[in-house]
Amino acid sequence: MPEAASSTPPAGGRDEAPAGAGDQAKPRAWFSRVVDRLGGKNPDSVWLACLFALLALTTTALVLGYETETGRAWFYRPQWSKRTFDSVMYVGSGIGLATLVGFALLRRFPWFQRVRRARWWGVTSKLLVALLVFAMGLNYFYARRAASSHWVHFHDTYHYTLGPKYYDEYGYFWHYKCTLEAAPARAIPNKSVVRDLRNYEFTTAGKIREPRRCEAMFSPERWEEYKRDIELYAKYDIRGPIHDLGYNGTPLHAVIAGSLVNRFELSYATLAGLGLIDVYLICVMLFFVARSFGWRLGLAFALVIFTAVVDRYGVIGGSVLRWSWWFALGLGIVALKDQRWSLAGFWLVAAAMLNVFPLLFLFGACVALLGECVRARALLPSARRFVVAALVSTLALGVLSVSHARGLGNYRDFFEDMRVHEDGPPVEGTRGKVRHEKYPGYGVGLKFIFMYRGKHHDKSKSFSRARLTEEFREIKPLVQALGLALTGFAALLCLRLRPFEAAILFGFTAFYGLLGTVHYYFACASLLVLLWYRRVAAPGGMLLLIGYFACNTLAHAYLHHVGSTRVLYNTLLSSLWLVYLVAVLVYLSRETGWGARLASLLAASAPAAEPTLEPASSPATDPAPDPAP
């Protein structure tokens, strides 16, 4: 429970100004109140806030200084390649791994404990770790896009700017058709190959253009504005995006992003400015995590995000509100840890309504609270506040989601869009029309381990997707059973875990084991680092924290020396995470006692021996009873 208020100042804080200090005491008292409210009981809150604020402001200065005019940054930025960017992340992950290993070895010696208590050690360690996090954060936010011709990700902003901006007019399925009608034929000729969003099949631009129906959906002023926006994208990237899968934001994302984007006239500069919103959201989330979990684990979490091979800010960085779900999910975990149940219910519901799959993390928290209520044999106030806040938030955000466009039809269209998105177009297989198994080259998850055939390297792209789908269908039930077993065991452990731990464990296990999707959504895997809060002092917790960094560094090593991203994500990283997840489940099963309980249950389920006419043995010769579990 939250700590009671104390009459003494918090550690690291300042005493009140003495009487007679005059007006100088007022600014100091005002500043102290702001710091206390922002940082709570954590004396490190001020420098942590300065660290992440400096990171966000430095990124802003670089973007506004070099990225608001077409071509300006190309002449002034250093010659930075994608390989350089990945190499910097590789080095950062390796430094983090080496630091953890060194610390784990040194802390075994008594002399090192004396060194740790010295003031110079605390200041030096904070400074060095903060510098590493700052450097990796700057590389993460800016250098990846600096390796391209523009910091603005035009391919993604085409979908996540125009999609929500004109959501009221054409929803999900007419996005590409209206683009083709508004774009001049010289930008997208009729013979160009495009995707039909109604069924995800490829066709030609001319077939989708006719008959022309989009202009009737717009007012005259709105249609002219739309054509100007299409002309903007036609200067940079318009043919590439219309091969993709359209705008797939939830109705809540559409209303929030649409309200924001509609306030500005789109230009190169405004797109760069809008792309900075995600930078600020991530930095704010990282500050609250570090404030709540302590600077050591908080900065380790930040370092994992900034060096994660699974994300790399390359696919959706430099776009608009693509990380809003990550911001909400992170704050939800922080609220659970701080036992602020109403806030936790709101943020987890918001994350789920912004990107659906965070609903798994919400369910994990519910399982933990259910376990607490069962043990107490009562409905605890924490569970009641969490559930009430979640229900009220669902209602309020749901009303906001249907307050525009087609009302309740927004969700009907969204679920239909998700159905098409999941199934994909039918293709001709050996058994007639079949649908491809979802197999993105940058997908991560349990199922991808079992789809490897050794023929999907960049030099061997001729392997039939239809054949792979048919082969995988033969073992798909076994893969699904394994995913359900992992998820079910995680749910069992959640009954004995704290709510924030249960949310992380169940959310990741179900997402990895049952769904599996494109790699950038697995930024949420970084939350596994927070499982070791309070456990990192034990050898097992430190070993598993090191293990997560080791998985990331090994994946970076493969990317650096081999470079096949399909093998990296589909096979190597998916396999490493399976091993790591099993180790986590085994460790937590021992800690919670479920491992011993299950072993005892299995041993007790053996059939009883048949009665015999032999006399009972004497107590002296009877075997000792099994110890109680």
pTM flag (> 0.85): yes
Residue tagged 């390297």 (tokens): 457
What is residue 245's DSSP assignment? Answer: -
pLDDT score of 428: 55
How far apart CA 509 and CA 511 sit, in angstroms, is 6
Instruction: Count the neighbouring beta carbons within 10 Å of the beta carbon of residue 567.
Output: 19
Burial class of 597 by CB neighbour count within 10 A (0 to 12, 13 to 18, 19+): middle
Residue tagged 């990237």 (tokens): 237
Element (H, E) at 433: strand 432-435
Encoding tokens for residue 178? Answer: 């209206």
pLDDT score of 83: 84
Residue tagged 């391919």 (tokens): 155
Which string of DSSP letters, residue by residue, matches 175-210? HHHHHHHHS-TTTS-TTSEEEETTTTEEEEHHHHHS
pLDDT score of 623: 41
Q: Which residues of 493-511 are buried (b: 16+ CB within 10 A; e: fewer)?
A: bbbbbbbbbbbbbbbbbbb
pLDDT score of 368: 97
pLDDT score of 445: 92
Instruction: Count the neighbouring beta carbons within 10 Å of the beta carbon of residue 59.
Output: 20
What is residue 78's DSSP assignment? Answer: -
What are the residues facing 518 on neighbouring strands? 443
Q: Which residues of 236-250 are buried (b: 16+ CB within 10 A; e: fewer)?
A: bbbbebbebebbbbb
How far apart CA 441 and CA 565 sit, in angstroms, is 7
How far apart CA 259 and CA 256 sit, in angstroms, is 5
Residue 496 near residue 371, CB atoms below 8 Å: yes
How far apart CA 85 and CA 132 sit, in angstroms, is 15
Span 391-435, pLDDT tens digits:
999 999 999 999 999 999 999 999 999 888 876 665 555 455 556
Kindly give the parts of the chain with pLDDT less than 50: 1-25, 74-76, 430, 609, 611-629
Backbone φ, ψ for residue 11 (5° rounding): -60, 135
pLDDT score of 431: 53
What is residue 458's DSSP assignment? Answer: T
Task: Name the residue ranges covered by the structural domains of the chain.
Answer: 443-600
SS3 443: strand
CA-CA distances (angstroms) from residue 512 to 316, 357, 440, 468? 20, 11, 15, 21
